[in-house]
Amino acid sequence: MTHTLHRITDLFGESDDFVILCMAAQKFNDKGAGEKLKKIFRLVADTYPDNLADDNLGGRYTGYTDVEILGHMGDKAYVGAAFSDRTHLREALKRIKEADLGMSVVVSGNYKAVFKILKEIGMKPHTVNMSLGIYGNKALLPDREVLAISTMCGHGMVTRKRIENIVKKTKSGKLTAEEGGRMLASTCTCGIFNPKLASKILQRASEKEKGER
């Protein structure tokens, strides 16, 4: 899975858009992993993530409470959390490190920022997956704002039509940007979609429209 890799995050310069994924390696440390991942879920829940889920079920914005998510989590659970605040991200990573549960942890986001945070809390990166961007028939792609929202769900479940409709409703004042961001998050089961960042993009789209009038 590479669902957090190709996020378009440069609409606002160096954007604060981070994702944490925690999981077991199947056949290596999956036996009994469920309880460890539940502990990680609880630790992350206390550090003010903007979204949180087990991607085998869904998350806070797809209609589940933390208790329901925890009740569903097993050895194959994938904890996914989105952050737009570096302090909160740092705190989450620090707590996971201190808990020392032996699960794999991945952070998606700007490398410079992530490496800096890791250094501050005495950790080192092990492996990276770098994006070289998009190739092929780019005429098939939506505009950059829609793309910035849709790439927050790498599985493609936050659809182009849905985003365009919410953008339209936000521009016309039928929805606030915050409401729009939350509604868009409701189809991402992995907890990696950041509703706060989506709101910011919707706000920008509305202001741009007003400016053009």
Partner 1 sequence: MIIDQEKCTGCEQCIEYCPVSAIRIDDEKANINQDLCAECGNCYRVNVCPTDAIFRNELVWPRTIRNIFSDPISVFQETGVSGRGTEESKTNDVTNRFKKGEVGFTIDVGRPNAGGVKLREVEKICLQLSSRLDIHYDPNNPLTYLMEDPKRGKLKKDVLDEFVVSAIIEFKVPLNQCPEVVKVLENISHHIDTVFSIGVISRVDEDGTIPAAKILEEEGLQIRPNGKTTLNLGRASNPNKI
Site for partner 1 in 13-42 (CB under 8 A): 14, 17, 21, 23-32
Cα–Cα distance measured from residue 52 to residue 20, given in angstroms and rounded to the nearest whole number:
9
Q: Which range, of 44-52, 56-64, 170-178, 204-212, touches partner 1 by CB under 8 A?
A: 56-64
Cα–Cα distance measured from residue 108 to residue 87, given in angstroms and rounded to the nearest whole number:
15
Query: In the bound complex, what is the minimum distance in angstroms from residue 49's beta carbon to partner 1?
Result: 17
Sign of the four-CA dihedral 43, 21, 103, 119: negative
140 scored as a contact of partner 1 (CB under 8 A) = yes
Cα–Cα distance measured from residue 25 to residue 52, given in angstroms and rounded to the nearest whole number:
20
114 scored as a contact of partner 1 (CB under 8 A) = yes
Query: In the bound complex, what is the minimum distance in angstroms from residue 207's beta carbon to partner 1?
Result: 24
104 scored as a contact of partner 1 (CB under 8 A) = yes
Cα–Cα distance measured from residue 130 to residue 166, given in angstroms and rounded to the nearest whole number:
31
Cα–Cα distance measured from residue 47 to residue 90, given in angstroms and rounded to the nearest whole number:
9
Q: What's the DSSP call for residue 24?
A: P
145 scored as a contact of partner 1 (CB under 8 A) = no
Q: Which is nearer to partner 1, 135 or 211 (CB)?
A: 135
Q: How far is CA 16 from CA 12, 37, 50, 76, in A?
A: 9, 25, 12, 29
Edge to edge, what strands does the sheet with 58-59 contain?
Answer: 18-23, 79-83, 51-54, 58-59
Which of 69, 79, 93, 184: binder of partner 1 (CB under 8 A)? 93
Query: In the bound complex, what is the minimum distance in angstroms from residue 6's beta carbon to partner 1?
Result: 4
159 scored as a contact of partner 1 (CB under 8 A) = yes
127 scored as a contact of partner 1 (CB under 8 A) = yes
Size of the site for partner 1 (CB under 8 A): 83
Q: Which is nearer to partner 1, 47 or 150 (CB)?
A: 150
